[in-house]
Amino acid sequence: MKHSVNSGLVYSTDGGRMCPDCRQPSAQCVCKAKAVAAGDGVVRVSRQTKGRGGKSVTLVKGLALDAAQLALLGKQLRTACGSGGTVKDGVIEVQGDHCELVMEVLRANGYDLKRSGG
């Protein structure tokens, strides 16, 4: 059986998902910390219900932060809203329609904001 250059460990029971580039667990990935999305400097806050069974989620996109800072800001926003959520692929998701509250918290932290979507 031939092994290709791209083959490697994808999941480990010790560390969970593995980064294909640096071969580290996703939580300790060093290559994604360097590749921070530059964007246009405007943080976009929107509400989405698509694919969520009719339940709304507030999305925060366009933050030029590394993974650790993004997780910390996500925690701060979820605490301010009193709801759950997650950080996926550089996007903070807060459960529920909390666009105005999220925008207030981000403005207080000095971000340039724009409300997108409906």
pLDDT digits (tens, 9 = 90+) for 8-47: 665 656 667 777 777 777 777 777 544 444 557 789 999 9
The one-character DSSP state at 116 is -
> What are the pLDDT digits (tens) for 56-104?
999 999 988 888 899 999 999 999 999 999 999 889 999 999 999 999 9
Q: Which domains does the chain carry?
A: 8-35 (no CATH), 38-115 (3.30.780.10)
Cα(94)–Cα(5) distance, integer angstroms: 39
Q: How many residues does the chain have?
A: 118
Tell me the torsion sign for CA atoms 115, 43, 108, 52.
positive
Check if the beta carbon of residue 98 is closer than 8 Å to that of residue 90.
no
pLDDT of residue 77: 95
* One-letter amino acid for residue 4 of the chain: S
Q: Is the pLDDT of residue 54 over 50?
A: yes
Question: Cα separation of 107 and 77, whole Å?
Answer: 12
pLDDT of residue 44: 93
